A and B are shown apart, each in its own frame.
Chain A
Amino acid sequence: MRDLHLRLPQGVPVLGGREVNAETFAFLVVGAGTFVSGAFAITSREIVHTIIYIGAFFAGLATIYFLLQAPFLGLLQLAVYAGAVTILLMFAVMVLRKRIFAREARTALSALPILLALLLGLVLVDLALRAPTYLPGPAYGVGTLSQNLFLVNGGWLLLLGLVMLSALTGGVYLARETRSSSLAREARG
């Protein structure tokens, strides 16, 4: 990515005289698209549209990870989020009834949450503007990342595995418990 950056034309003046290069310009475009996709995903009234928008949101974030010299994270984001999680959400919607979402669509947005979110966003953006200037670090390859992940932070990875195993067990238990409860209810009724 850095080599590509060196080959691209530098110093394209946009945004009120602020000098941005091609990498930053790509980030601004993809970042704006990601934010808009996220906003549409939350405010859309049709749940299938929501899932399409959230897929675009995840894909946009994966592109930003590639721009941040983190190709492994970008691929992980594409595989796990834009792929698996989006499909999982779509399956969940397919097994649920349509009228549930129609009822939710009638929920009106009030002004207070919008104001609160705007205030929170302004505070966070203001904090970001006050961030000190740091120099970019070196780009890391997948080998360095895997060494750090398995040798230095191996305990965290093990803990993640245990959490995932617990979640799997909990999900299976929840499904079985629900089925037995609903069967008992049907027998009573």
Chain B
Amino acid sequence: MSIPLVDLLGLSGGLFALGIFGIITRRNFILLLISVEIVMNAAILNFLAFAYYPPAPGLGGVTGQSVAVVLVGLAATEVAVGLAIVLALNRLRGTINVAEAIQLKL
């Protein structure tokens, strides 16, 4: 018997809810980025769960792992750009509180 699909999806759902909780409550830009990362990792775990348990031949399997590789790259890119914005925000306004950053213009 392998790891049950229910357990994998349950953990993924719990992590997703945790990330959404962080996005709602935190105002610190870095904590917000970390919360978004938790949400993205929950999605990647879901892809890997269905890669492990393919619902149909040709669906899931190694394609799920390929999508997960692309998503890991995307998430890392998002962190890099997010931290560049954090540093710019700190230098210009002296804060990284997203509630105080009300203008898109630098």
In the bound complex, residues from chain A placing their C-beta under 8 Å from that of B81 are 167, 170-171
Beta-carbon contact of B2 and A34 below 8 Å: no
Closest chain-B Cβ to A69's Cβ sits at a distance in Å of 6
Residues of chain A in range 125-156 having any CB-CB distance to chain B below 8 Å: 125, 127-129, 131-138, 140, 144-145, 148-149, 152-153, 156
| Total chain A interface residues with beta-carbon distance under 8 A | 94
Beta-carbon contact of B87 and A95 below 8 Å: yes
A-contact 0/1 string along B32-62, CB 8 Å cutoff: 0111011001001100110111110000111
Quick check: is A56 within 8 A (CB to CB) of the other chain?
no
Quick check: is B83 within 8 A (CB to CB) of the other chain?
yes
Beta-carbon contact of B16 and A152 below 8 Å: no
Q: How large is the interface on B (under 10, 10 to 19, 20 to 34, 35 or more residues)?
A: 35 or more
Which residues of chain B have a CB within 8 Å of any CB of chain A?
1-22, 24-28, 30-31, 33-35, 37-38, 41, 44-45, 48-49, 51-55, 60-63, 65-70, 72-81, 83-88, 90-92, 95-97, 106
30 CB contacts below 8 A, A to B, read: A5-B2, A24-B2, A24-B4, A31-B7, A35-B18, A58-B41, A70-B65, A76-B72, A85-B76, A92-B83, A92-B86, A93-B30, A96-B90, A97-B90, A100-B97, A103-B95, A104-B28, A104-B97, A107-B25, A107-B26, A113-B25, A121-B16, A124-B14, A124-B17, A131-B9, A134-B5, A153-B66, A167-B80, A171-B84, A174-B106
